[in-house]
Chains A and B, each alone.
Chain A
């Protein structure tokens, strides 16, 4: 049947099972919006800024594991979505972004609203396409979904010139086999080399002081069960990155919680003293390792990752295993069982676990609470309690992000959404909207900074329009807090351009947009307004928590420094001597 290119786009999206598109129309993409309207079966969420649309698609993808879809027009529409694309690239989020382009004959002419978005996004996409003929349109869209969602996930952009959306064609939707056949150079590696897995099993049985270091790859491959089984069977403590949160429940006795720059004392101590580090779907980011030469100095390293290019990139490893985390862990567990799952040095292992318990007691995550002013950490603890630890949490970037990572305990995968790689302020609110659409059964909280919130706050209107009851908790210190903290610690408190005390009245702002606004200025009000907010289920709520302005995020390993130079709660440095514990 002959139909327009625009109709082919919608037909292909339906074939892919797309239920929601986040976007904003304009000249070059109007045909597709017309086809969407005529078809009427896919929900479209009209964001108020294309950046918002991109982060919404990310939030949706992160909670569901499905490919998120965003759509924009050419030129400024396309450039506005570059940040979420880069964000998705860094955090391995499966995304298909469809952009309109000027008609084929005008490409390269500096036509109205023309940019070379394929060129611009080349370094921040897993792949991208410019469609050159209507006959290849359905194939390229299907390829985009296949590439985005398989292997190490990532964003794929499809740029469609307007004339192609207007032409007529009878081209059919290709089968999945055709899609794979069209990509002879793309074969994601999944199985894991059995010899390497055997080596890993041997090291795990021999280790005296092992640690599992778990990243986002474990979440993407849904490996929670395998992780728990491995950790419990071999008695291995587990630390998770911000991306890996929830892949191993943080209330588990073997949980060390987060490591790295704002990691717990005990996680960092454990990694520093480990004799075996098992990295699972993690990439040794510099925020995790600190000074790389002194990262886990005594440990042998096993690295399991689906991306061969992630292995031995930042650090040389002893046993690399390329493969899907879930599959490799499954094989590893079988191999260990085959060998009787023996811990060869049970006494040392016992001592190791006890040592970690001591560290946990010595420096738990704490802060000095107050009756007068609201402490930011207190806000997070109260949210944890009010939601029973069961909410999905999204965050912006800054101090609040780290407090949300520390003082909320995550127990299931895809529960904590944050911009870990790119560190994009403004991620939180739109991601929360996308997350709530993907998981309407869950309470979704955006814990945001006042600075981050302002970067994408227009999306409150979107949430109101679609009756999406996200809860926004602004941890309002009236500063670009994290930058202020660095200025305090490393620039002699010269607070250069970080004061945000001129700010909107967030309660009135909420009301003006059709949302509900609350403010808490005293600690005892925190829980009250949380309870009030959670009663509202048909519109977004903004809660303005006016917090202690100059609270710092601690502990902290200064950038590029060794774990030995960790600054603790009381401002003291971790004593280097305590770090040389050799059992």
Chain B
């Protein structure tokens, strides 16, 4: 067939450089979304993320100082490229005012956790209290057999705390989901000569 195609004069050279689709890294992203608090806005956002086949790992929502405007913090594990797509599509939603992937920019994050832990012996109670103190937690409820402890912090701190309590037996645990905010940059003052 090569002789019927009229390619005289044109050299058949190398095989093509196939277009490579970049594969992103899969990791946890933390996305901040400022939304108008309209009917169904949460469902819209959840539908969009689920539509990409991703599970929402953490979610917190609450009204900001502006009436009718809420801040959502969403944690989702996914491919960097697909998350970039999710962010663009979130921006397209009519009710979103601002969408930002905080994962790679300096930010503050906090989560509040309530843990109900067994206190079988008085030694255990003492030890737990010491841990709570070190982690700047607070015992907010006490019964004969349990402490309920409140602690806030970033993911690392909370995970470490929970690990330390596990040997005593955790009865219940509740997390609020992270809230997060971008850190303000310090702007170095320009000294004019």
Q: What residues of chain A have their CB less than 8 Å away from a CB belonging to chain B?
A: 118-119, 122-123, 126-127, 130, 132, 147, 183-186, 272, 292-299, 307-309, 311-313, 315-316, 355, 358, 361-362, 572, 575, 577-583
Contact = CB atoms under 8 A, between A and B. Distances in A.
A362 B19 contact: no
Contact of A580 (B6, B14, B48, B96): B14
Contact of B19 (A147, A184, A315, A575): A315
B19 A313 contact: no
A508 to B, nearest CB: 46
Contacts of B47: 122-123
B18 A184 contact: no
B19 A297 contact: yes
Interface in B1-51: 1-2, 4-7, 10-22, 35-36, 39-40, 43-44, 47-48, 51
B7 A581 contact: yes
B2 A294 contact: no
Contact of A147 (B17, B36, B94): B94
A185 B84 CA distance: 19
B88 A309 contact: yes
Nearest to A269: B5
Contact of A575 (B2, B10, B39): B2
Contact of A582 (B5, B13, B21, B92): B13
Contacts of A296: 19
A298 B15 CA distance: 10
A22 to B, nearest CB: 25
30 contacts: A118-B40, A119-B40, A119-B43, A122-B44, A122-B47, A123-B48, A127-B93, A130-B39, A185-B94, A185-B96, A186-B94, A272-B16, A292-B19, A293-B20, A293-B21, A296-B19, A298-B17, A307-B92, A308-B91, A311-B88, A313-B85, A316-B21, A362-B4, A575-B1, A577-B2, A577-B12, A578-B5, A580-B12, A580-B15, A582-B11
Nearest to A128: B40
Contacts of B7: 358, 578, 581
Contacts of B84: 312
B170 interface: no
B94 A183 contact: yes
Which of under 10, 10 to 19, 20 to 34, or 35 or more describes the interface residues of B? 35 or more
A293 B16 CA distance: 11
A123 B13 contact: no
A276 to B, nearest CB: 13
A119 B1 CA distance: 56
A583 B12 CA distance: 9
Contacts of A578: 1-2, 5, 7
A244 B188 CA distance: 52
B97 interface: yes
Contacts of A361: 6
A362 B16 contact: no
A185 B97 CA distance: 4
Contact of B39 (A132, A184, A307): A132
Contacts of A292: 19, 21
Nearest to B9: A351
Nearest to A130: B39
Closest 9 CB pairs of A and B: A297-B16, A309-B88, A127-B94, A582-B13, A575-B1, A185-B97, A578-B5, A297-B18, A358-B6
A317 to B, nearest CB: 10
Contacts of A575: 1-2, 5
A580 B13 contact: yes
Nearest to B39: A130
B2 A362 contact: no
B14 A309 contact: no
A315 B19 CA distance: 9
B103 interface: no
Given A118-B40, A185-B36, A581-B10, A294 B5 contact: no
Contacts of B88: 308-309, 311
Nearest to A119: B43
A572 B95 contact: no
A282 B95 CA distance: 26
Contacts of B35: 185
Nearest to A186: B94
Nearest to B85: A313
Nearest to B86: A309
B176 interface: no
Interface string B74-87: 00000001001100
A481 to B, nearest CB: 29
A575 B21 CA distance: 25
Contacts of B12: 577, 580-581
A293 B96 contact: no
Nearest to B90: A309
Given A119-B43, A132-B39, A577-B12, A293 B85 contact: no
B18 A185 contact: no
B116 to A, nearest CB: 35
Nearest to B82: A313
Nearest to B50: A123
Contacts of B51: 123
Contacts of A577: 2, 12
Given A185-B95, A185-B97, A362-B6, A309 B19 contact: no
Contact of B92 (A183, A298, A309): A309
Nearest to A322: B88
Contacts of B93: 127, 185
Given A132-B39, A578-B2, A316 B22 contact: yes
Contacts of A127: 93-94
B64 interface: no
Contacts of A362: 4-6
Contacts of B55: none
Among A298, A309, A316, A583: residue with most chain B CB under 10 A = A309
